[in-house]
Amino acid sequence: MQPTQQVLIPEVIQQIPLNYYLIFSTALFVIGIIGVLTRRNAIIIFMSIELMLNAVNMLLIAFSSYKSDPTGQVFVFFIMAVAAAEVAVGLAIIVMIYRNTRSIDIGALNKLKW
């Protein structure tokens, strides 16, 4: 790498403060939390969890890009791999719940409540 090479910084990184990414990711995460707390459909709760995972990914990538550290992006890669495995098992569990209770309403799953 020549020392004379011009350093190219993406325009977004030059113009948008890192704080705005923090606020944006927090908003996505909070929307996911509200989804988990308000819905009763197990699949939509699952999708809200995916939303929260993606909010965290977004923040990791933003920090990694701003600080030029590839480790954060490797973590995101692993999060995506684990999320894929989690979705496969989770959806299998939801299909099994449907098979046993004929619905995916989590209100029906109260055996462990008390």
Partner 1 sequence: MNELLAHFKQLTPTGYLFWILAFVTVLSAIVVVTARNPIHSVLALIATFFCLSGHYVLLNAQFLAAVNIIVYAGAIMVLFLFTIMFLNLRKEDEESKTSLAKIAAVIVGGTLMVLMLGIFKAAQVGSYNAIAFDAKTGLVENLGMVLYGDYLLPFELASVLFLVAMVGAVMLGKREAGDRHF
Chain positions 74 to 103 lying near partner 1, rule: CB under 8 A, are: 74, 76-78, 80-89, 91-96, 98-99, 102-103
SS (H, E, C) the chain: CCCCCCCCCCHHHHHCCHHHHHHHHHHHHHHHHHHHHHCCEHHHHHHHHHHHHHHHHHHHHHHHHHCCCCHHHHHHHHHHHHHHHHHHHHHHHHHHHHHHHCCCEHHHCCCCCC
- Which of 2, 3, 4, 23 touches partner 1 by CB under 8 A? 23
Minimum distance between the CB of residue 65 and partner 1, rounded to whole angstroms?
A: 4
Minimum distance between the CB of residue 25 and partner 1, rounded to whole angstroms?
A: 9
